Amino acid sequence: MKLNKKSFLVAGLIITGIILATLSCGCIEPEKEADAVTNKSLQNTTQDIQTTSSIKEPANITIRVVKFEPARPCRSCTLLGNFAKETIELYFQEEYQSGKIRYETVNYQDPKNIDLVKKYGISGSSLVITVKNDGDEEIINANGMWSYVGNKEEYMNVFKNKLDDILKGYENV
C-alpha cells in the first residue's frame, strides 16, 4: 500500500475535525467540577444550632436542580439533565407542581449567566442541587450522577434516593 501526501492530509483533517468537535462540546472532567463545587458548598453548610420547642413545623424548603451546560451540549451533557428532570417529574410530581422542587437548565457560556456560574463555581457541564431553607442556601454537588448517564434506570433510582434523602433531612429542621 502506497501512501501519498494527499492521504496524510485527509487523515490529518479528519483527526483535527474529531478533536475540534470534542473540544467544542465544552465538557470538562467531572472531578474538576466536583472539586470546585464541593469546596464552595463546604463554605455554605455550617448552621447555627437553635434551641426552641421540641415540636417544630416542617421546614419551608425549596429544592432547585440546576443543570449547567454549554451552548452546544454533547449527548452525555443532555442526558445528565434530561434524566434529572424526568426523575423529578415522575417521582416528585406534587413537589414539582407546587414549586417545592424546580428544575432548570443554564447555559454557563452565556454572559448573562455569569453571576450564577461564579456563585456555584462552575467551570463546565455540571449538575447542582440547591436547598433554600428560610433564606439559607445549601449547595449540593450532584456531579456524581455523571457515572450513571449510561444507564437511565440506575440514574433515576440513584437521583430519586438523593432527592428523598434531602427532603428527609429537612423534615424536622
* Residue-wise pLDDT tens digits, 67-121: 999 999 999 999 999 999 999 999 999 999 999 999 999 999 999 999 999 999 9
75-91 and 152-169 helices, crossing angle to 10°: 50
Does residue 1 register a pLDDT over 60? no
Predicted TM-score of the model (pTM): 0.66
Does residue 9 register a pLDDT over 90? no
- From residue 68, give the alpha-carbon distance in Å to each of 9, 17, 22, 44, 154: 37, 25, 18, 20, 21
Residue 135: pLDDT band with limits 50, 70, 90: confident
Mean pLDDT over all residues of the chain? Answer: 78
% the chain with pLDDT above 70: 65
CATH architecture for segment(s) 28-45+58-169: 3-Layer(aba) Sandwich (3.40)
71/32: higher pLDDT: 71
Does residue 37 register a pLDDT over 90? no
Q: What is the pLDDT of residue 40?
A: 42
127/27: higher pLDDT: 127
